[in-house]
Amino acid sequence: MAGPGPRDASPGLHVDIAGVCNGARYTPSPHHDERPEGEAITLLVIHNISLPPGEFGGPWVDDLFLGRLDPEAHPYFAGIASLRVSSHFLVRRDGELVQYVPCELRAWHAGASLWQGRERCNDFSIGIELEGADDVPFAEPQYDVLASLTRALLERYGPLDIAGHSDIAPGRKTDPGPFFDWPRFRASL
């Protein structure tokens, strides 16, 4: 019988007043700044990411969000190693939850974006990356942890709009992609 793993920790997730989740591995990214004064968090953005594209596991997503991605480690990395990007959270395929930026701060995940007439979605959103790709179904543990995390965020911040990266940057972004099961996710909340 397997011992406790990342999936076992998810039901009791809690987000504190600083926006730090108790069940996440906290790995602070330098790629963040303050939200505009008085800006309320009103949006949750779901993304997918894999580095190199279509490959899972390894340190590369951490390295990208921490600003230490080696441009020589893979040919694809040469074009992205200098990016200054981050997300609040990453849910790995095995259900491990990683937090890079406290929710009270602005992570740099949305880029050029628009939601309900408002630009600069980073100002008022929380970004959650799922380790995945547009052409691959997400793993069962990811849905469980994503649901638990989202419930914790709703408890902390109240009602939030929930959108995919493709919804806030149509034509520019396609994630979380056609394999993300929106009805299942919404029903889990």
Asked if residues 107 and 87 have their Cβ atoms less than 8 Å apart, the reply is yes
Residue 1 pLDDT more than 80?
no
Residue 111, both tokens: 């880029």
Q: What is the pLDDT of residue 63?
A: 98
Residue 4 pLDDT more than 60?
no
140 assigned to active site: no
Residue 2 pLDDT more than 50?
no
Domain boundaries defined on the chain: 21-188
Euclidean distance between CA atoms 122 and 26, whole angstroms? 20
**Structurally, what CATH architecture does the domain formed by 21-188 represent?**
3-Layer(aba) Sandwich (3.40)
What are 51-106's pLDDT values in tens digits? 999 999 999 999 999 999 999 999 999 999 999 999 999 999 999 999 999 999 99
Residue 19 pLDDT more than 60?
yes
Euclidean distance between CA atoms 189 and 172, whole angstroms? 28
Amino acid at 5: G
Looking at the DSSP assignment, which residues form a beta bridge with residue 107?
32
Per annotation, catalytic residue among 37, 55, 96, 129 = 129
Q: Which residue is associated with the tokens 């942890």? A: 145
